[in-house]
Amino acid sequence: MTMAPVYLVDDDEGVRSALSLLLGTYGIRIETFGDPAAFLARAPKLKPGVLLLDLRMPAITGLQLHEKLAAIGCDWPTIICTGHGDVHACRRAFKAGVVDFLTKPVDEQVLIEALQQASGALDVHAERAEAAKLVAQLTDREREVLDMVGRGWSTREIAEALQLSPRTVDTHRANIAQKLGTTSVAEFARLALIGQAP
């Protein structure tokens, strides 16, 4: 599995150095930032990746940074790492959409597994976003036809249900195929499902 880049934001230089070294031994690309402002300045130029954020930092907490990024539409998978974990902070982090909450010192294997899971979540998110973008190109009628094709309905069944001629349904299917870039019924079904997923 190819790992997404990891962006570590931690005010402790020792933690940044140690985690850079550790993740480098696994072949994981990591970029470190000493404070949230430095990360925010670079974020628009970065490839989507996994955020590894310290919970407690002087100017802005890791959780506040996560919330700030979410507010501007950057919903990369986030792992909060802290030496000061408590149940309240953990609950708040998960409610805000953080994918994992780890306590320092972090066990190497636990960290790698968390990063792999978060990287997988990023891949799924990207696939859903692309499918949603493709499905958004369709007209309302084409979306109806796509949904029915995805459920295994034949052209005749769709025509009867929508009170259209089979030829009109075939025209809609051709338009859908052109917009989605596929004629495969299985791919229609897959795009319909993931394009509508939350």
What is the per-residue pLDDT for 22? 94
Tokens representing 185 are 């019924």
Domain ranges, residue 107: 6-126
Tell me the average confidence (pLDDT) per consecutive run of 10 residues in the chain, 198 residues long: 87 93 93 93 89 90 88 86 76 81 88 90 72 86 89 91 95 91 76 63
Is there a single domain that holds both residue 191 and residue 148? yes
Select from 80, 76, 124 the least CA-distant residue to 101. 80
Is there a single domain that holds both residue 155 and residue 64? no
What is the per-residue pLDDT for 196? 60
Is there a single domain that holds both residue 83 and residue 107? yes
What is the per-residue pLDDT for 89? 78
Is there a single domain that holds both residue 111 and residue 148? no
**CB-based contact 141:172 (threshold 8 Å):** yes
73, 93, 126 - which closes a domain: 126
Helix ranges restricted to H, 26-154:
36-42, 62-71, 87-95, 108-136, 140-150
**Rounded Cα gap, residues 125 and 133, in angstroms:** 12
Is there a single domain that holds both residue 88 and residue 166? no
Query: What Rg value do the Cα atoms of the chain yield, rounded?
Result: 22
Is there a single domain that holds both residue 53 and residue 105? yes
- 1 within some domain: no
